[in-house]
Amino acid sequence: MTAFSANLGFLWVDRPLPDAIRAAKAAGFDAVECHWPYETPAEQVKAALDQTGLPMLGLNTIRGNPGENGLAALTGREVEARAAIDQAVRYADAVDAGAIHVMAGFGTGPKARTTFEENLKYATSQTDRTILIEPLNRHDAPGYFLQTTDQARAIIETVGAPNLRLMFDCYHVGRTEGDIMTRLGELLPLIGHIQFASVPDRGAPDRGELNYAEIFSHIATLGWRAPLGAEFKPRENEEFTDWLNVFRSGGEVFA
């Protein structure tokens, strides 16, 4: 049976993070993940995780200044980027998060790539936890340095650290590259986490262009057993967990 993780960066955002963890447990999720938990004391998050028995799969490095979207590919900002990595490692250690997503930020060209790779070498040397990088689609994040899975693969191979992995978000890949099942199969040896949302509206997985019943089945046939990350934006007043039991029961989710 497919396991699912609730991304609390988008789900139950009206609640303090510990309460959102408890809500995810009550809804039937198998794990949780988050974006930027740093305003919540780590001991409160760890207590909620221990209470529910849910693992925290991952968290992000900070975005930086207002309007920024990460620091790791910004030439001249290495001190800040590495401080953000250190902050994420400390928090991940405190809550036993499985992975840290190092956000690249806005940039382009060879200098940005070199900066990103050097910061990733630093990140992977500071922890045995998985370090993730994630391509973001050009529609939602124009100007973001990391935009394609091919680009991510080349960087992972250049850095060469065993704990550097790809975060494969079916939504982002669906918006820019398509051919989700082929890309999953090709990239599986590099993938550290898989996320999903409907295309093109980034909603729940029971609508849109991608048939997630088929995609989840394909992921299972590839041998993937870790929870899949539900990183979608629910509609206002939507019962956004109805799809969960339907997918698990093998029922029809698409109208």
Domain membership flag for residue 251: no
Domain membership flag for residue 250: no
% of the chain at pLDDT higher than 70: 97
List the CATH number of the domain containing 82.
3.20.20.150
Handedness of CA 135, 67, 36, 91 (dihedral sign): positive
Mean pLDDT for 220-235 is 96
Q: What is the pLDDT, as a whole number, of residue 239?
A: 78
33, 80, 177, 231: the catalytic one is: 231
Domain membership flag for residue 149: yes
Domain membership flag for residue 230: yes
* Of 223, 243, 254, residue with least CA distance to 4: 243
Domain membership flag for residue 253: no
Q: Report whether 243 contacts 205 (CB < 8 A).
A: yes
Q: Is 134 a catalytic residue?
A: yes
Structure tokens at 152: 């991510």
Whole-model pTM: value is 0.95
Domain membership flag for residue 45: yes
Which structural domain, as residue segments, surrounds residue 71?
A: 4-243
Q: What is the pLDDT, as a whole number, of residue 9?
A: 97
Domain membership flag for residue 122: yes
How many structural domains does the chain have?
1
Q: Is 231 a catalytic residue?
A: yes
Residue 249 has pLDDT above 70, yes or no: no
Residue-wise pLDDT for 86-140, tens only, equals: 999 999 999 999 999 999 999 999 999 999 999 999 999 999 999 999 999 999 9
Residue-wise pLDDT for 4-46, tens only, equals: 999 999 999 999 999 999 999 999 999 999 999 999 999 999 9
Domain membership flag for residue 128: yes
33, 43, 134, 236: the catalytic one is: 134
